[in-house]
Amino acid sequence: MGTVKKPLLLAFSVALSFSCLTAQNTVWQPSPGHTQILIWPGAAAPDPQPVKGPEVAEWSGKNDLIAGKQVLGVSNVTQPTMTVYSPKEKNTGAAVVVFPGGGYQILAIDLEGTEVCDWLTSIGVTCVLLKYRVTDVGPYPKSGPYPESPMALEDAQRTVGLVRFHAAEWHIDPHKIGVLGFSAGGHLVAAMSTHFNQRLYPPVDAADKVSCRPDFAVAIYPGHLSLAAAEWDAEQGTKKFAIHFPADADKNLALNPDLHVTKDTPPTFLLQAEDDHEDSVYDALAYYIALERAGVPTEMHLYAHGGHAFGLRHTKFPITDWPQLVETWLRTIGMVSD
């Protein structure tokens, strides 16, 4: 039997852990010297959804550690922001917009956000951390994958356009702007890579008139990419965690029909562990097959072990050396140089 776990099941376990925390409830703030920038002018973002309370940033419990460390999760995000982290020394001119994961319910803002920016800036790449809208109101996330909800993709389109619009000001090459995401953020990478020709919202200023197409894309243990995963999403959580399909390669390896890969989809790097029990390996494989068939330059690394949601934190598994692979790949496709 082919088995497809609910994409981004991590959100349920992590969200439950976060709900039991005693840490201070507060709006997330970046480290000193960095400022969050509202990506939408004024207070209103398009297509808002209800949330159960104010934004909350909480640490995971002491029994929910990744590589021996807690994880900081942000929930109830209604005002999306971007935070720009500039290289401290050399500047390659490349920039990456980072999408943390968390099942479209929370954002693992340090594990798959600020720690990623620390790495990128150390290799001369500007990092733009997107705190996109997430909420877990209702029996199924109202901020789920597009087209279930447009919010996250709207925020991503707006942010990539803003980065390109401000490229000269932020010392960025406008032709070297990529996206990188984990889990749900990995799906957002694929959504951005296949939905850049038309904004999902009416233009609000000059930044929305420039292209929001990424020049390259990196998806780490992504979800929601296969047809099987999309069909689970369509059931809106009526089955608790897993859904079983016949051993049908067409079903497991077919692409989510909401993702339209073409020759214009940007060069893509994929990373996946076979023993990932949150996002099925079929998600990454389905996307790889679609990219290859469309003639999109693609590099995929598949490891036997590693699980899910390790971010950049090093463990005993070789898969956690993946940042070195990405650095080599970025040189290979001409986005950075030695």
Token readout for 67 is 């590589």
Residues 6+ apart with CB under 8 A from 291: 261, 265, 268, 298
More confident residue, 199 or 233: 199
Q: What is the CATH number of domain 2-332?
A: 3.40.50.1820
Least confident interval from 9-18, 53-62, 258-267, 289-298:
9-18
pLDDT for 239 equals 36
What is the chain's mean pLDDT, rounded?
88
pLDDT for 248 equals 54
pLDDT for 234 equals 65
pLDDT for 280 equals 83
pLDDT of 243 over the 60 cut: no
If you average pLDDT over residues 11-38, what whole number do you get? 65
DSSP3 helix / strand / coil % (the chain, rounded to 5): 30, 20, 50
pLDDT for 139 equals 62
Amino acid at the residue 292: E
**Banded model confidence at residue 22, pLDDT cuts 50, 70, 90:** very low
pLDDT of 25 over the 70 cut: no
| Phi, psi dihedral angles at 123 (to 5 degrees) | -105, 15
Instruction: Characterize the bridge pairing of strands 126-131 and 81-85.
Output: antiparallel
Token readout for 104 is 């479209």
Residue with tokens 């789920």: 144
pLDDT of 8 over the 90 cut: no
If you average pLDDT over residues 142-150, what whole number do you get? 89
pLDDT of 77 over the 90 cut: yes
pLDDT for 235 equals 64
Domain boundaries, the chain: 2-332
**Banded model confidence at residue 279, pLDDT cuts 50, 70, 90:** confident
What whole-number percentage of the chain has pLDDT above 90?
A: 74
